[in-house]
Structure 1
Amino acid sequence: MKTLCQACTPRQSVFDDNTRDDVLEITDLIQNRIDPNEFFNENFATEGMKLLVETAFKRFHGKNASGLIKLTQSMGGGKTHNMIALALLAKYPQVRNKVLGDMFKESYIGEVKVVGFTGRESDAEFGIWGAIAEQLGKKEQFKDYYSPLQAPGQTAWINLLKGEPLLILLDEIPPYLENAKSKAIGDSNLSVVTITALANLFNALGKKELSNVCVVISDLKATYESGSEQLQSTFKELEGEVSRSALNIEPVGTNSDDVYNILRKRLFEKIPSNEDIIEIANAFKDKVSEAKQMGYTNMSPEQIFIGIKDSYPFHPSLKDLYARFKENQGFQQTRGLIRLMRVIVSQIYTNGKADKKYIINPYDMDLNDTNMLGQIKTIKPSLANAISHDIQANGKGIAEAIDNEMDDSNMSDLSKIILVSSLADVPNAILGLTESEIIGYLTEPEKDITRIKKSLQEYTLKAWYINSTDNGKLYFQNTKNMIAELNTLVESYDNDAAKKELRVFLEDKFKPSNNTCYQNVKVFPAIDEIKLEQDKVTLVLFEPNAKGMD
């Protein structure tokens, strides 16, 4: 059975720190800074992307009623990425054939003109309409709308855009509109004028003259869904205009295997044959079956087999665990997951783990690496103390300290899988895993299942920030648990203070009640403090001999 190192070859870009955070924008497309062949070598065509392309090309042929497409997904969910993919396929017919095969073999459409605008270009001198006109080579046609800036009407848009098939991309519009509010135009402002201009554009798309023009816009609401109520209301009018006529497309399917396909294509240049993958899936199935027979997990061996076939080289648990925290405020969904898994892949191929492992697990992360630790803290900052005390901190974390003593990795593995299951930071989030789920996720070929269970039981008695839900799911929180409080209490007492507290406690517990056995009690007395009385029995409580009994 092939290990990861034998079966999969990562792309060189995985190990290049300079490309890890490389994010393409519409500006890169407009300025021809994107190599289409290189782009598609590392990018998977999701069903959402194919639907986007199919819908747009129907429009270019004049066969689609809707000329406005809205890409719906939260931040980092693939909206800009899919816009760029569509634009490259529109601009380069030869690439179109290579990527999509026979999908458009009957199409007579050659190169499609592409223009675009990103709201990050907040200083656009002549507004969105001026930028579009300039890219079309028709800047002068809109000269009457530049000084002062005013919204082109529906007819003006038709006259500007009619003719050959045309693709218009509008990305990151909310930050542009927010900034435009500060630019006064008469009694109004640039934000209001821009909203009017775009509303007129969207209405113009319904006219026959623009039946081959397609506009793709990113979801305004999704971009700022976590913003203030006042900020959201700013875009309500434009969002309403979009929603009236737009076709909604989700770039990355939340209930599909898109996430695995994207990661595979982006991070690896070679993966093994189906026969090799099935062999690995069967090995995991057999091990989970063994764990189930021992009563350690309720996980289905068949589901693990099917899951690994679909998700290889990633463990199928990745999809469920990622779904929990992908909605966290500020987390960039698909982009954020690619960034996270890129670091994990780089680590396991650099530190030698890929020579021994058969699959990439969500817990295969080295939190002593500042880059990795920084990414996890960004997802859920409140768990910083839990990580440093209970998991990994250059040899001082509870889990890694025990693993170092035992020459094992069970403690670290189970602590990290619990950590990943605890990263959700939204209302009513699912947190934690049951003991059955933890053991099921950690079970793999050549791993002693009994040691996993023993390690889990030991870990829950030592970790300070681990807690349990009512249904038995273990998760990390940002407040100390009872074990931590007891440790803190013990550490707050020196020997004298502890003896004083204990003396009071024992005097109360052993206080004579009916005087039948003894009448006096002495707790931890010095020998010369013991005064015997002829007609009374005295109970004397001494400290245990630290050296034991001779």
Structure 2
Amino acid sequence: MTLKPWREIAIPHEDVLKGTFQQAEFAADITRVQARTATAEYQDPALFFRRTFITEGMSLLLDSVVRRLNGQGGDPVIQLQTAFGGGKTHTMLAVLHLSAGEAPARDLEGIPAILDKAGVQDLPMATVVVLDGNQLAPNQPRKVEGHEIRTLWGELAWQLGKAEGYALIAESDRAGTSPGKDVLADLIRKYAPCVILVDELVAYIRQFEPGKTLAGGTYDSNLSFIQALTEALKAVPNALMLASLPESEREAGSDRGVAALKTLEHYFGRVQAIWKPVGTEEAFEIVRRRLFAEIRDRSAADEVCRAFADLYVQHGGDLPSETQEGQYLARMQSAYPIHPEYFERLYKDWSSLPSFQRTRGVLKLMAKVIHRLWQDGNQDLLLMPGSTPLYDATVRAEMLNYLPPGWDPVLERDVDGDRSEPVDIEQREPKFGSIQACRRTARSIFLGSAPTSVNQMTQGLETERILLGCLQPGQAPYVYRDALSRLETRLTYLNKGNGRWWLDVRPNLRREMEDRKRRFKDDEDVIPAIRETLQRVIGGGPLDATHIFTPSIDIPDDWALRLVVLPPRATHARTGGSQAISAALALLRNRGEQPRQKQNRLVFLAAETDQLGHLMDTMRTLLAWKSIVIDVRDNRITLDNLQAKQAEQNGNQVQEAAYRLVKETYRWLLTPFQQAQAGGGVGEIEWESLPLNPAAQNMTKEIEGVLQDNELVISEWAPIHLNRLLKAWFWKNAEPDCSAADLWQKSCNYLYFPRLRKSTVVQNAIAAGAASRDFFGLAYGKEAGEYRGFTFGKNTTPMMDSLLLVEPDHAAAYQAQLDAVQAAAISATPPGTTLPTPGTPGVGPSQTPPVSATPASKPKHFYATVELDPVKASLQFSNIVNEVVELFTAAPGTRVRIKVDIDVLSNTGFEDGTVRAAKENTKTLKFDSSEFE
């Protein structure tokens, strides 16, 4: 079943859709309602109750009001004490409309059930008095119908009975002294049933200075009036008072406000019933009723909620524990189309801000959010923290209005908008852009971290709660986790610590890192860092030697097989021009200013064109983090412990990313080759370009595997392939034999020959084919047309030094001649005489071997001396071991000794430090002898 987005199910009210709502419309003003100047949603009783969700607390309060007005009990004094924006005034309006009788109670949605529960058929029309502390002025009497009303008790009397009622307390009003409780009881009883609504009482009383008399009386007289009024109401069974008080001292304002609050709480505490009308869960329905006209398809809405619940069960390990409870589905259905997490963030986090008025603030914000998303055709299944359109100037201004200065650049750079970092990442990486993963993640973090204090111990959101604010059915959590990781490396104001993420107006270490990145130069800093990383990734390399960004003069022209890593700017792409091939060709043709002879001993590794920029930037980032860590360690900069730890962690993370990126970037193996042409000669140099698998764990093994699998480097060679090469290039022009060493050397020189790993590959191929007469014959020299040490079709261990490979037909003919000579010699030799083996020196097809001939002995001792360049001695000695020493160490029964002679002559004499170091080092390295003279 295809799930429907919220916009196809939940229809907002017309004023929300059109954006014609006004901020003041969300602020219930009881005085305007009494004066009949409020908007229809507050002024019209029927409309008011259609848009009002009667919470459990409000239902109990209205039940008490109904009973009280009918003289059936109920509370005489009710104190509404909730947090700023918690619904106090809205509750008073409900009592006003219920009591005033402008519409039949049975026509007010939700009220009949309350009447039935109280056993009341109908309500008497009550006189409603509104005492609004924000409307009345303590030192500015109100003139009405020829009377000057000064005090709260004067206002009470006038609203109850006009001039007649006012006359009962006129003297007290003029004197500014509180009437007694009996006078107030008589006044209230005369005009009962009545309801007295007192709003913002603390705001009124805190304007009186102790010891100073105003038109409205004194500080003490007003407190005395409240005390007397609460006592008087107990004596009138069908009269009651609702008074709102701030929940906290912060909302009370000044010191006088706090003092007034504490005194009023004491007076009310003697007779009051305290009601807290709005709970967080009930606020879901309050907001929904005010913002949405209808839920068009309840079953479709439930289907969406069930899909979310199933998603949360499927990915339980990635999300908060409460999502695994069955009641979370009920919460989503209750809050639909707004996700419960949205309410959690607004009611718990944003309501902690001094100026954010809980339900009223949520209504104002969500109205603007819904209007913008509706206009933009938003297709989210639910309205979630990740849906918040912070790119919209109106929504952004609404949220910034509650925050301290400095948040605007945070939103513009790190959260949302055309020029923000999340948008840039999404444009570069489709897996994020397809679901706006980076923007949704950043919005969710902002919504959950912006209101918190910088000193808060649990600042920020856990990863699982961020995912809860973003993830929708059909999406995978890992995409948002990846987005978080990418944001961590890019955002300036994003912080992470103790498993939580938060945005802050203070730049994080990333700003310092970004500033430092600009210090590093490509040639002096970045390219050497890439070289170092490559050295760690490639290690010893798959071949005899590895040269990373090495000039041509420093790449030896010898028998060793070498991997040449081309400089970063010499990049390669599968399509389009390749700077790598041009650079490799220059290295292939010349060593410095001299032509390179052994061209078939070089294999090249090049960077991917599209990845190079990312690698260079990552290397600058790595260098920047390393410099910060070093400066912290050396006390050149001061960071707190968390920041210092973050710098080290970020450096380690970027280092790991650099290892990965090097493999992703240096992924092209380039090998040169030439094709033999049919008419003779060879073609131009061509290039085989093969990609490496960047996911391979070991880059060295990956290079070696690609080279071998594609036969670009041959480590094992079959005799038949050797035979074909010999036929094509050596056994021609009446030359029936060739030197094995010459074949090896030419394979190192010419690109149209196979690229052999070592000389032992030739040696092993010869050994494998020696027993067969299909491939070649073997000899160890040739004199006057006759072969020394000739064998054909016999197992042997060949020695490469002077070995000849003889064309098989010619070898067969030669072997036949030898066999004939041997047969003739046998027939002419007396019994008991030992004959030499055919093929030994001096024994050929044209000779009759002497009877006393002695078999030739093989050489048994080899020695050589070579002088090394002191600067290049390490590389030269390595080549000597590979190409000479290994020939002997591989043969059984051979003992090899290597001696090193060092002869140093100085014209000026050696310094004491040099003499001392030389003696200590030669002793440590266990030299047999070392002397100075």
Same fold (TM over 0.5): yes
Q: State the distance in 2 between where 1:62 and 1:428 align.
A: 51
Moved more, 276-285 or 58-67: 58-67
Question: Does residue 402 of structure 2 align to residue 379 of structure 1?
Answer: yes
Tell me the residue number matched to 2:388: 365
Tell me the residue number matched to 2:442: 415
CA contact (8 A) 1:37 1:95 kept: no
CA contact (8 A) 1:151 1:193 kept: yes
Alignment of 1:317-396 (within 5 A): 317-322=341-346, 323-353=348-378, 356-381=379-404, 383-392=407-416, 394-396=417-419
Q: State the distance in 2 between where 1:343 and 1:158 align.
A: 48
Q: Decide whether aligned partners of structure 1 residues 357 and 186 sit closer, same or farther in structure 2, where only a CA change above 3 A counts.
A: closer
CA contact (8 A) 1:97 1:104 kept: no
Gaps of 5+ in 1: 504-543
Tell me the residue number matched to 2:170: 143
User: How far 1:109 moved relative to its partner?
Assistant: 2.8
Q: Decide whether aligned partners of structure 1 residues 221 and 445 sit closer, same or farther in structure 2, where only a CA change above 3 A counts.
A: closer
Q: Decide whether aligned partners of structure 1 residues 317 and 430 sit closer, same or farther in structure 2, where only a CA change above 3 A counts.
A: farther
CA contact (8 A) 1:53 1:86 kept: yes
Tell me the residue number matched to 2:662: none
Question: Does residue 360 of structure 2 align to residue 306 of structure 1?
Answer: no
Q: Decide whether aligned partners of structure 1 residues 359 and 253 sit closer, same or farther in structure 2, where only a CA change above 3 A counts.
A: same
User: How far 1:286 moved relative to its partner?
Assistant: 3.0
One-letter amino acid of the counterpart of residue 285, structure 1: A
Q: Decide whether aligned partners of structure 1 residues 189 and 96 sit closer, same or farther in structure 2, where only a CA change above 3 A counts.
A: same
Deviations 1:501-536 (A, max 9, x none): x99xxxxxxxxxxxxxxxxxxxxxxxxxxxxxxxxx
Specify which of 6, 9, 12 is matched with residue 8 of structure 2.
6
User: How far 1:5 moved relative to its partner?
Assistant: 2.2
Tell me the residue number matched to 1:271: 295
User: How far 1:176 moved relative to its partner?
Assistant: 1.3
Tell me the residue number matched to 2:22: 19
One-letter amino acid of the counterpart of residue 271, structure 2: S
Tell me the residue number matched to 1:515: none
Q: State the distance in 2 between where 1:224 and 1:153 align.
A: 32
One-letter amino acid of the counterpart of residue 333, structure 2: K
Q: State the distance in 2 between where 1:429 and 1:309 align.
A: 33
One-letter amino acid of the counterpart of residue 443, structure 2: K
Tell me the residue number matched to 2:108: 98
User: How far 1:459 moved relative to its partner?
Assistant: 1.0
Specify which of 125, 146, 167 is matched with residue 111 of structure 1.
125
What is the root-mean-square deviation of aligned Cα atoms in Å? 3.0
User: How far 1:55 moved relative to its partner?
Assistant: 1.5
Specify which of 124, 131, 141 is matched with residue 155 of structure 2.
131
Q: Decide whether aligned partners of structure 1 residues 431 and 321 sit closer, same or farther in structure 2, where only a CA change above 3 A counts.
A: farther
CA contact (8 A) 1:432 1:475 kept: yes
Moved more, 88-97 or 365-374: 88-97
Q: State the distance in 1 between where 2:286 and 2:246 align.
A: 24
Question: Does residue 311 of structure 2 align to residue 287 of structure 1?
Answer: yes
Gaps of 5+ in 2: 38-42, 142-149, 529-565, 571-579, 584-933
One-letter amino acid of the counterpart of residue 474, structure 2: E
Query: Normalized against structure 1, the TM-score is what?
Result: 0.83
CA contact (8 A) 2:68 2:239 kept: yes
Q: Decide whether aligned partners of structure 1 residues 362 and 226 sit closer, same or farther in structure 2, where only a CA change above 3 A counts.
A: farther
Q: State the distance in 1 between where 2:469 and 2:390 align.
A: 19
Specify which of 463, 467, 473 is matched with residue 435 of structure 1.
463
CA contact (8 A) 1:424 1:430 kept: no
User: How far 1:307 moved relative to its partner?
Assistant: 3.0
Tell me the residue number matched to 1:62: 71
CA contact (8 A) 2:84 2:246 kept: no
Q: State the distance in 2 between where 1:241 and 1:43 align.
A: 31
Q: State the distance in 2 between where 1:282 and 1:187 align.
A: 63
Query: Normalized against structure 2, the TM-score is what?
Result: 0.50
SS where residue 474 of structure 1 aligns?
strand
CA contact (8 A) 2:339 2:384 kept: yes
Q: Decide whether aligned partners of structure 1 residues 5 and 241 sit closer, same or farther in structure 2, where only a CA change above 3 A counts.
A: same
User: How far 1:296 moved relative to its partner?
Assistant: 4.0
Q: State the distance in 2 between where 1:186 and 1:437 align.
A: 54
One-letter amino acid of the counterpart of residue 547, structure 1: R
Q: State the distance in 2 between where 1:270 and 1:429 align.
A: 42
Moved more, 333-342 or 145-154: 145-154
CA contact (8 A) 1:168 1:216 kept: yes
Q: Decide whether aligned partners of structure 1 residues 397 and 145 sit closer, same or farther in structure 2, where only a CA change above 3 A counts.
A: same
Question: Does residue 37 of structure 2 align to residue 30 of structure 1?
Answer: no
Question: Does residue 550 of structure 2 align to residue 488 of structure 1?
Answer: no
CA contact (8 A) 2:82 2:245 kept: yes
Question: Does residue 250 of structure 2 align to residue 248 of structure 1?
Answer: no
CA contact (8 A) 2:67 2:74 kept: no
Question: Does residue 203 of structure 2 align to residue 179 of structure 1?
Answer: no
Q: Decide whether aligned partners of structure 1 residues 66 and 89 sit closer, same or farther in structure 2, where only a CA change above 3 A counts.
A: closer
Specify which of 102, 114, 135 is matched with residue 121 of structure 1.
135
Tell me the residue number matched to 1:316: 340
Deviations 1:397-435 (A, max 9, x none): 211232344444111101111111113346757532222
Deviations 1:448-482 (A, max 9, x none): 54422221211112112222232x01111222222
SS where residue 274 of structure 2 aligns?
strand
Deviations 1:126-182 (A, max 9, x none): 121111111112222221022232211111211111142110000011221122339
Q: Decide whether aligned partners of structure 1 residues 269 and 128 sit closer, same or farther in structure 2, where only a CA change above 3 A counts.
A: same
CA contact (8 A) 1:173 1:220 kept: no
CA contact (8 A) 1:174 1:224 kept: no
Tell me the residue number matched to 1:519: none
Specify which of 39, 55, 65 is matched with residue 48 of structure 2.
39
Q: State the distance in 1 between where 2:295 and 2:214 align.
A: 61
CA contact (8 A) 2:82 2:247 kept: no
Tell me the residue number matched to 1:454: 482
Specify which of 54, 70, 82 is matched with residue 73 of structure 1.
82
Q: State the distance in 1 between where 2:65 and 2:385 align.
A: 37
Q: State the distance in 2 between where 1:43 and 1:119 align.
A: 25
SS where residue 129 of structure 2 aligns?
strand
SS where residue 381 of structure 1 aligns?
coil
| Percent pairwise identity | 21
One-letter amino acid of the counterpart of residue 339, structure 1: K
User: How far 1:335 moved relative to its partner?
Assistant: 0.5
User: How far 1:116 moved relative to its partner?
Assistant: 0.8
Q: State the distance in 2 between where 1:277 and 1:221 align.
A: 37
Q: Decide whether aligned partners of structure 1 residues 243 and 455 sit closer, same or farther in structure 2, where only a CA change above 3 A counts.
A: same
Q: Decide whether aligned partners of structure 1 residues 212 and 373 sit closer, same or farther in structure 2, where only a CA change above 3 A counts.
A: same
SS where residue 389 of structure 1 aligns?
helix
**Which structure exhibits the higher relative contact order, with contacts defined as CA atoms closer than 8 Å and separated by 6 or more residues?**
1
One-letter amino acid of the counterpart of residue 263, structure 1: V
One-letter amino acid of the counterpart of residue 482, structure 2: K
Q: Decide whether aligned partners of structure 1 residues 441 and 45 sit closer, same or farther in structure 2, where only a CA change above 3 A counts.
A: same
Q: Decide whether aligned partners of structure 1 residues 190 and 18 sit closer, same or farther in structure 2, where only a CA change above 3 A counts.
A: farther
Alignment of 1:130-279 (within 5 A): 130-136=154-160, 137=162, 138-163=165-190, 164-181=192-209, 184-185=212-213, 190-207=218-235, 210-222=236-248, 224-225=250-251, 227-229=253-255, 231-254=257-280, 257-279=281-303
Moved more, 328-337 or 86-95: 86-95
Q: State the distance in 2 between where 1:115 and 1:71 align.
A: 16
One-letter amino acid of the counterpart of residue 98, structure 1: L
Q: State the distance in 2 between where 1:188 and 1:331 align.
A: 31
CA contact (8 A) 1:421 1:432 kept: yes
One-letter amino acid of the counterpart of residue 136, structure 2: S
Q: State the distance in 1 between where 2:341 and 2:93 align.
A: 30
SS where residue 460 of structure 1 aligns?
helix
Tell me the residue number matched to 2:905: none
